[in-house]
Chains A and B, each alone.
Chain A
């Protein structure tokens, strides 16, 4: 965090100054480690063992926050008799189908309360596996019955509490030592710190980044942390939570208003061919009639009205048929394979640099070289725009400029100070940027580019039926200035929603299912409340409370801590004075406190839903997790994940060690691409070391925003690999000299940094060496400094829930000296591939 989110880390140091204890779990020793109370080096790819052992520690010693757990989680819920755990099936959950390599999740369900999920609904699990469907539960949960059977004594052998307890019983400190390489005293200290600082008076927070997500079990890493935090009562409370530190200015916004294949704005599923016949059918199968997802029709219809305006009517399903249909995986890596195979003809790359920044760089570049046309928009000439002129495949002779048929348009972009608009930061906070000046020359914003491209395309549309969605699209924003820049405020207002009276809406509860409201992204509803750009609010920090509700605007409804109803006890009183945050004011009959309460403001804690209630009315006054169909935090996930209802430790796809827990070594549901352009490392002695990639403070991702800057280039001029003195001795590497790192995908050279900060770990009785590699360099990109592409080394293997690649744990070999050039590099690769 000190390295990659430095200014955010000041708050950790503030907390430390006031007595907080800080633990840093990371394969490498960084500035964060230097400032933490203790650094626990861990083998990359083994975190579920560590977190699972903490869960086991809590449950074995009954250290859970029982009142919280009983009231706010599904601990008491009874699970179906058909469920079988990985502990019973040696690493598989019940429902595994080896032929399709997917799970049928029906046996994971809660014990039936009479209502069986339809075959079509159960099919959802498979469909999710096919289309990264779990994403759509990002802010909520899939359908589950609102009132299943429970056992509040938590003793029923099939209640969630007991299932979780049995599941993690083998995750012991010994196993942590054996698999993670963390010694027992380190684990004991961490376990004590976490449990002593949880409960009524105290909270513990977990902070993570892509070190937890870029794994074939990435979503399950976060799930493990969720289980721990729910058991300890650390969710929805100040100083608690699981905080994703996202790496780019508006990466949260890019998920909320997704330029992602599988979702529409506000985490609504893209419709799936064959599965969704029409609007009603879509809504029926999406389920979730209870909780705030019960208003899904209002959210979707308001979106369709925002997009197709007058043309969207009740009679035509509000133009639901205008939405294109998915049939499976249309994600980034599948798209690249489509380029190589010739099905993808045209490609837009805007503010992104996959030739350097995406896993398996060679496959990316081979894809680019096989397009009909490519449009690249960026500040500088990034490698993705110049691969045909100076890419590494020209040096090896795999490609020749004269043979590459791709037509390339490079359009220069406006910088962040040359346009106005909002970024959504890592805590869901939208902050408006004022424009400082006009962009130079041909530089334009993406807003300008897409708006004017849309206008040019509309001129090219015919009366043909296939052109109807473009013809009928609402595409008319005020323009201003010499460049006719469309108004970003008008776009933000459309996103924030407009009511039947033509006025901006103030809350998503105002959205209607009848087409009388429009809203481009329901979770952002209210960002333009009172016709004021709420994201532009800038009341200085000295003039408001620490929660700073008048600085920017956070979704949803300007709430700063999600699910903060859980900061009060079931009766609505703060759990303790120290940790008071929002509470029920009985006199005024409403929720109040330091933040905007994340619940219905007038719903008393004693509210019991009537039989058959719908949406939020079906949640009790004690239910804090209002997006879930049962209002509970899920320790066990009966539906929605494609690789199991509980996290289990699986080794990374490429790992030098066996899985002592299960015969099933790696996540069985992981997504692989068996392609010659990007082969996997053989699981033998050819690749004996663990390789992990990371960032440096002084650079930004693939480097296009940092390598051309003199200050930053000077601070970190060259690609290097971090190795321990022991590994350096074993391989024969000299500090400051050169090393060549090899996987089946690529050979990459880097300067050697021999440092005690990389420590060899004892794993299962053997020494495991880790190699750390920052990934900011490339061969061009307007960089003042250049270097080999670390991402060329990484494998194309994905987490099956969200399709993120395993960039943080793989195997490699290390050799002394510089890499071979030209054909010799390919020959070396061949030898590694074929032994």
Chain B
């Protein structure tokens, strides 16, 4: 969680301590009434931009509202020696990435030969997926290949994006390897 530093970076504090003399000259009654979106943030999380691999620092402002917690703003982290508070168009738009209305929040299911999506609850989906992995693994198990022991399945494959966390990649590789699934690939190759 943020330490003492985050308070000092809070835009409203920056304004109140009057760092920038030009702000006075620019004031009007209308601008006086404007408040930064970050002002009511309950917490600020230190994060990293999820787009390219420069790794710019982000500050994620979260507010507690009547409909629960929501992200109100994502800004560059001025402390970062990589980005010095800057973000490019994608990094600056990342609040929309996490809040846009097209984001799916429900499990969807398409049965074989089906013509439409159906709803499924998450636990059921997990059990169904586990059943399919276990079954396909058994059905396609290859103990030997041309006389050599291989102990694997070529029936299950995986392709991951390169916005996966290191910890996620680690669990994926660990589980797949134990299952004998070797066709495990990532954006990192393609």
Q: Chain B 167-181 against A: per-residue CB contact (8 Å), 1 yes, 0 no?
A: 111111111111111
Nearest chain B CB to A584 CB, angstrom units: 27
The contact sample of 20 A-B pairs, CB cut-off 8 A, is A249-B53, A251-B188, A270-B182, A274-B147, A324-B182, A335-B183, A347-B156, A352-B159, A352-B161, A406-B110, A406-B112, A412-B106, A417-B47, A447-B171, A450-B171, A451-B171, A461-B134, A538-B79, A541-B84, A782-B103
Pair A419/B165 contact, Cβ less than 8 Å: yes
Pair B126/A456 contact, Cβ less than 8 Å: yes
Q: Say which residue of A10, A132, A258, A784 sits within 8 Å of B186 (CB atoms).
A: A258
- Interfacial chain B residues near A5, Cβ < 8 Å: 52-54
- Interfacial chain A residues near B183, Cβ < 8 Å: 261, 330, 334-335, 338, 344
Q: Say which residue of A261, A359, A408, A430 sits within 8 Å of B184 (CB atoms).
A: A261
- Interfacial chain A residues near B169, Cβ < 8 Å: 250, 253-254, 257-259
Q: Chain A 458-471 against B: per-residue CB contact (8 Å), 1 yes, 0 no?
A: 01110000100110
A441 within 8 A of B: yes
Q: Say which residue of B107, B138, B177 sits within 8 Å of A442 (CB atoms).
A: B107
Cα separation A440 to B94 with both chains bound (whole Å): 17
Pair A551/B109 contact, Cβ less than 8 Å: no
- Interfacial chain B residues near A783, Cβ < 8 Å: 102
Pair A708/B168 contact, Cβ less than 8 Å: no
Q: Chain A 431-465 against B: per-residue CB contact (8 Å), 1 yes, 0 no?
A: 10111111011111111001111101101110000
B13 within 8 A of A: no
Considering the complex, give the chain A residue whose CB is closest to the CB of B9.
A540
Pair B47/A520 contact, Cβ less than 8 Å: no
Pair A450/B175 contact, Cβ less than 8 Å: yes
11 further A-B contacts with Cβ under 8 Å, apart from A421-B168, A538-B46, are: A249-B53, A258-B173, A259-B185, A273-B146, A379-B97, A389-B117, A406-B110, A412-B104, A437-B71, A450-B175, A495-B167
Pair A411/B107 contact, Cβ less than 8 Å: yes
Within 8 A of B (CB), among A783-835: 783-784, 802-805
B12 within 8 A of A: no
A546 within 8 A of B: yes
Nearest chain B CB to A30 CB, angstrom units: 14
Q: Chain A 226-266 against B: per-residue CB contact (8 Å), 1 yes, 0 no?
A: 00000000000000000001111111111111111100110
Cα separation A430 to B96 with both chains bound (whole Å): 25
Nearest chain B CB to A570 CB, angstrom units: 32
A595 within 8 A of B: no
Q: Say which residue of A4, A454, A715, A803 sits within 8 Å of B189 (CB atoms).
A: A803
Considering the complex, give the chain B residue whose CB is closest to the CB of A274.
B148
A416 within 8 A of B: yes
- Interfacial chain A residues near B168, Cβ < 8 Å: 421, 445-447, 450
Pair B189/A260 contact, Cβ less than 8 Å: yes
A473 within 8 A of B: yes
Q: Say which residue of A264, A401, A548 sits within 8 Å of B115 (CB atoms).
A: A401
Pair A408/B187 contact, Cβ less than 8 Å: no
Q: Chain B 60-101 against A: per-residue CB contact (8 Å), 1 yes, 0 no?
A: 101000000111001000111111101111111110111010
B127 within 8 A of A: yes
A29 within 8 A of B: no
B11 within 8 A of A: no
A731 within 8 A of B: no
A116 within 8 A of B: no
- Interfacial chain B residues near A353, Cβ < 8 Å: 161
* Residues in chain B within 8 A of chain A (CB atoms): 1, 5, 43, 45-57, 60, 62, 69-71, 74, 78-84, 86-94, 96-98, 100, 102-113, 115-117, 120-122, 125-134, 136, 138-141, 143, 145-190
Cα separation A434 to B79 with both chains bound (whole Å): 15
Pair A325/B178 contact, Cβ less than 8 Å: no
A-B pairs with beta carbons under 8 A, tally: 493
- Interfacial chain A residues near B100, Cβ < 8 Å: 380, 708-710, 782
Pair B163/A351 contact, Cβ less than 8 Å: yes
- Interfacial chain A residues near B112, Cβ < 8 Å: 404-407
Cα separation A460 to B111 with both chains bound (whole Å): 23
Within 8 A of B (CB), among A598-625: none
Interface residue total, chain A, C-beta cutoff 8 A: 162
- Interfacial chain A residues near B71, Cβ < 8 Å: 417, 436-437
Pair B160/A259 contact, Cβ less than 8 Å: yes
Cα separation A270 to B50 with both chains bound (whole Å): 29
Considering the complex, give the chain B residue whose CB is closest to the CB of A252.
B53
- Interfacial chain A residues near B155, Cβ < 8 Å: 343-346
Pair B178/A473 contact, Cβ less than 8 Å: yes
Nearest chain A CB to B52 CB, angstrom units: 6
Pair B178/A307 contact, Cβ less than 8 Å: yes
Nearest chain B CB to A320 CB, angstrom units: 11
Given that A416-B47, A473-B178 are contacting pairs, would A422 and B55 also be in contact in the complex, using a CB cutoff of 8 Å?
no
Pair B46/A380 contact, Cβ less than 8 Å: no
Pair A260/B103 contact, Cβ less than 8 Å: no
Cα separation A319 to B54 with both chains bound (whole Å): 38
Pair A421/B165 contact, Cβ less than 8 Å: yes
Within 8 A of B (CB), among A318-364: 321-327, 330-332, 334-335, 338-339, 343-354, 357-359
Cα separation A405 to B115 with both chains bound (whole Å): 11
Pair A415/B98 contact, Cβ less than 8 Å: yes
Nearest chain A CB to B173 CB, angstrom units: 6
Cα separation A88 to B54 with both chains bound (whole Å): 44
Considering the complex, give the chain B residue whose CB is closest to the CB of A358.
B190
Cα separation A388 to B117 with both chains bound (whole Å): 11
Q: Say which residue of B108, B109, B126, B157 sits within 8 Å of A338 (CB atoms).
A: B157
- Interfacial chain A residues near B115, Cβ < 8 Å: 389, 401-402
- Interfacial chain A residues near B91, Cβ < 8 Å: 7
Pair A248/B105 contact, Cβ less than 8 Å: no
A424 within 8 A of B: yes
Given that A408-B109, A419-B165, A450-B172 are contacting pairs, would A347 and B159 also be in contact in the complex, using a CB cutoff of 8 Å?
yes
- Interfacial chain A residues near B175, Cβ < 8 Å: 450, 453-454, 457, 473, 475
A488 within 8 A of B: yes
Nearest chain A CB to B92 CB, angstrom units: 8
Considering the complex, give the chain B residue whose CB is closest to the CB of A10.
B86
Within 8 A of B (CB), among A99-115: none
Cα separation A450 to B168 with both chains bound (whole Å): 8
Pair A469/B178 contact, Cβ less than 8 Å: yes
- Interfacial chain B residues near A348, Cβ < 8 Å: 156-160
Given that A325-B151, A538-B79 are contacting pairs, would A254 and B186 also be in contact in the complex, using a CB cutoff of 8 Å?
yes
Pair B165/A250 contact, Cβ less than 8 Å: yes
A418 within 8 A of B: yes
- Interfacial chain A residues near B153, Cβ < 8 Å: 324
Considering the complex, give the chain B residue whose CB is closest to the CB of A464.
B138
Among B56, B132, B166, B168, which residue has the most Cβ atoms of chain A within 10 A? B166
Cα separation A254 to B188 with both chains bound (whole Å): 6
Cα separation A207 to B71 with both chains bound (whole Å): 36
Report the 5 A-B pairs with minimum CB-CB distance, sorted nearest first. Answer: A351-B161, A441-B105, A421-B165, A425-B55, A248-B162
A577 within 8 A of B: no
A372 within 8 A of B: yes
- Interfacial chain B residues near A466, Cβ < 8 Å: 138, 141, 143, 151, 180
Cα separation A706 to B149 with both chains bound (whole Å): 45
Pair A359/B190 contact, Cβ less than 8 Å: yes
